[in-house]
Structure 1
Amino acid sequence: MNYLVLKQRIYFVISVLTLIVLGSGYGSCTKFSDRLSDSAMVALDSFHHCQYMALSRGIGYAGRRSEQLDYADKLSRHTTAEQLMEIANTDTSRITRLWAYRILLKKADNQVFDVLKQALKDTTYVALESGCSGFEEPYYRAALSVYRYDSYELKLSNQLRFSLDSLIFFDYMKHYGFEDGLPIDFKPHKIYYATVIEEADKGNDAILPLLAQYKNPNDRQRINKLLKALLKEDGICSYEACEAISNWNDPAFEWYAKAACQATIKQEDYDAWDILQLLCAYPAPWSYQILKKLLTQKGDYSNSDTAKDYLTELYKTRPVPPIFKPLYDRYVARKK
């Protein structure tokens, strides 16, 4: 075989291989869009024009229904779980990705685990709207916001919810830290306990709500130490402490409830919701007096309606404590 013939054959083989590579590359680029229906493509195109993700149904002061709900409904009806997963992982629009991920959550599809795992690595900022509020946060945090916002409506299997929660606890919390609070409402699973104790012993009060859920008598001293530090730092009721005590209203923590409530009501303006959690956790003469003050308040900073609404909802599912019954009958039951 002469050199010229050999050279021509080599060029031929190279050309064929190049065409195969280009062809397969083109096929992989067009394969996904080719599989999507026209309706799905319309939904995707609509999402691509969105500048923010609508967390809530109503947006703005007027509570206008977001059109993104319609786009999501169309995308949900005209895609498979596999297509949604691919959109959630690869679409050029992070708003679109978040919606595909949200739809997978609502479908309770197990593939959402891998989508969330990848999302937790993405630090690109994305805009979200909820009611009248707009904010930006990293994509990994936005994925958690979606999960938390929809959490109580999701019909996830116990195993899938546990898997997602554990992914967040170990992959996200361990990496980014617990100092900024808990991004979701974790359940007190045994596998978290060692880490929870470790964080509590570091003095991290953000872990208090989860620590209290374990209701371990051996943790009373640990919890009280954190409560004392919080009261010293804030001087009034703190969110973490109120959540912890609403999870476990052990008598050992009543001192905090009393001191924090008495300090808080001395402020000109305060969040009555936190106080009400503590008052109702410990029905006693001291809490009766503060509750009466809230129910009878007047003026610009009155918390009367807030207190009445809170008690109405709380005692729909549980009996009114005897010591609160006169207040309830006079100020709450009469309002109905």
Structure 2
Amino acid sequence: MNYLVLKQRFYLVISVLTLIGLGSGYGSCTKFSDRLSDSAMVALDSFHHCQYMALSRGIGYAGRRSEQLDYADQLSRHTTVEQLVEIANTDTSRITRLWAYRILLKKADKQVFDILKQALKDTTHVELMSGCSRFEEPYNRTAISVYRYDGNELKLSNQLRFSLDSLIFFGYMKNKGFENGLLMDFKPHKIYYATVIEEADKGNYAILPLLAQYKNPNDRQRINKLLKALLKEDGICSYEASDAISNWNDPAFEWYAKAACQATIKQEYYDADEVLQLLCAYPAPWSYQILKKLLTQKGDYSYSDTAKDYLTELYKTRPVPPIFKPLYDRYVARKK
């Protein structure tokens, strides 16, 4: 066989293989939008016109129901999980991507881990609306906010929740800093402890709620140091301290609860829930007096109803402390 014939046959084989490749690849080259149903495309188009993501169900001063919930329901019903994953990873609208990710979280699909991992690299700002507040956050922080906002409603397995929390803890917070409020729902896993101690020793107040959950007697001094610094800086109750003490109402921290509550109720406006958390953590004569004052308040800026509602919910699942029983029977039980 001469060289010319061999060369011709070689090119023929290459041509055939190329045609086969083009033919088989045709289906995979079909645009993603062409594979979506009309209903899904309508939902996507609606999201593409949104200028912000509605984090809460009700938005604005009137608390109207956001139409984005309807778009999300339509998108959820007319897409597969794999289509949602592709939207969450590649859609041109970050608001649309966040909603696809939110839907997948509600479906408890394991692929949300990889979606969140990818999202943590994106620092482009997006607009959010929660209640009456409209604000901007980096995309990576927003992806965390979406997960945290829906947290209690999500039916995630313990393993998936732990994986997501650990990704946020080590993949975001350890690099970006431990922000106030981010650690409220974290569980005290062993793998976090060394970092928690390190942050506490740096004087980071945000770590308090998680640190208290470990209930390690060796941390009492460490926690008290943070509480003293917080009280000196704020002068009143802080939500980090209130949340920490509600997790571990050790007698060693009662001094803070008493001082912070007594200082806070002297203010004209304050967060009554933080005060109530601390009062109920330490049933004592001093907390009885403050609780009585809250329950009997009158006027335009009374916290009486807030206190009654708080006690009603709290003591649905636990007995009323004997020292609070007279107040509860007179002002709360009677209200029912």
TM > 0.5 between the two?
yes
Change (3 A) 1:118 1:332: same
Q: Which 4+ runs in 1 deviate beyond 3 A? A: 1-31
Residue 2 of structure 1: CA displacement?
16
Answer whether contact 1:123 1:138 (CA < 8 A) is retained: yes
Most deviating of 102-111 and 76-85: 76-85
Change (3 A) 1:79 1:263: same
Secondary structure of 2:269 counterpart = coil
Residue 237 of structure 1: CA displacement?
0.8
2:150 is aligned to 150
Residue 56 of structure 1: CA displacement?
1.9
* 1:272-317 CA-partner distances (Å, limit 9, x unpaired): 1111000000000000011111111122321111111111111111
Alpha-carbon separation, structure 2, partners of 1:323 and 1:167? 44
Alpha-carbon separation, structure 2, partners of 1:6 and 1:133? 74
Alpha-carbon separation, structure 2, partners of 1:75 and 1:149? 20
Residue 198 of structure 1: CA displacement?
0.6
Change (3 A) 1:184 1:315: closer
Alpha-carbon separation, structure 1, partners of 2:74 and 2:291? 49
Pairs within 5 Å for 1:66-105: 66-105=66-105
Answer whether contact 1:113 1:164 (CA < 8 A) is retained: yes
Secondary structure of 2:58 counterpart = strand
Most deviating of 210-219 and 51-60: 51-60
Answer whether contact 1:88 1:115 (CA < 8 A) is retained: yes
In structure 2, list runs of 5 or more residues that go unmatched: none
Change (3 A) 1:21 1:61: farther
* 1:65-109 CA-partner distances (Å, limit 9, x unpaired): 222122111211221211111110110001100010001101111
Alpha-carbon separation, structure 2, partners of 1:61 and 1:13? 70
Most deviating of 293-302 and 95-104: 293-302
Answer whether contact 1:60 1:132 (CA < 8 A) is retained: yes
Residue 118 of structure 1: CA displacement?
0.6
Q: TM-score, normalised by structure 1?
A: 0.91
Change (3 A) 1:300 1:159: same
* 1:209-257 CA-partner distances (Å, limit 9, x unpaired): 0000011111111101111111111111111100100010011100110
Alpha-carbon separation, structure 2, partners of 1:131 and 1:22? 52
Residue 9 of structure 1: CA displacement?
13
In structure 1, list runs of 5 or more residues that go unmatched: none
Answer whether contact 2:184 2:243 (CA < 8 A) is retained: no
* 1:3-60 CA-partner distances (Å, limit 9, x unpaired): 9999999999999999999999987664322221222111111111111111222222
Q: State the identity as a percent.
A: 91
Change (3 A) 1:184 1:84: farther
Secondary structure of 1:320 counterpart = coil
* 1:100-136 CA-partner distances (Å, limit 9, x unpaired): 0001101111111000001111111111122222221
Most deviating of 92-101 and 122-131: 122-131
Alpha-carbon separation, structure 2, partners of 1:20 and 1:31? 20
| Aligned residues: CA RMSD | 2.8
Alpha-carbon separation, structure 1, partners of 2:184 and 2:320? 30
Answer whether contact 1:182 1:207 (CA < 8 A) is retained: no
Change (3 A) 1:125 1:10: farther
Alpha-carbon separation, structure 2, partners of 1:223 and 1:24? 64
Change (3 A) 1:12 1:176: farther
Alpha-carbon separation, structure 1, partners of 2:16 and 2:126? 44
Change (3 A) 1:179 1:126: closer
Alpha-carbon separation, structure 2, partners of 1:49 and 1:173? 32
Answer whether contact 2:245 2:253 (CA < 8 A) is retained: yes
Most deviating of 300-309 and 204-213: 300-309
1:230 is aligned to 230
Alpha-carbon separation, structure 1, partners of 2:266 and 2:29? 65
Answer whether contact 1:148 1:184 (CA < 8 A) is retained: no
Alpha-carbon separation, structure 1, partners of 2:253 and 2:290? 18
Secondary structure of 1:45 counterpart = helix
Answer whether contact 2:208 2:240 (CA < 8 A) is retained: yes
Q: TM-score, normalised by structure 2?
A: 0.91
* 1:160-218 CA-partner distances (Å, limit 9, x unpaired): 11100100000011110114442651110110011001100111111000000011111
Change (3 A) 1:12 1:47: farther
Alpha-carbon separation, structure 2, partners of 1:32 and 1:183? 38
Secondary structure of 2:134 counterpart = strand
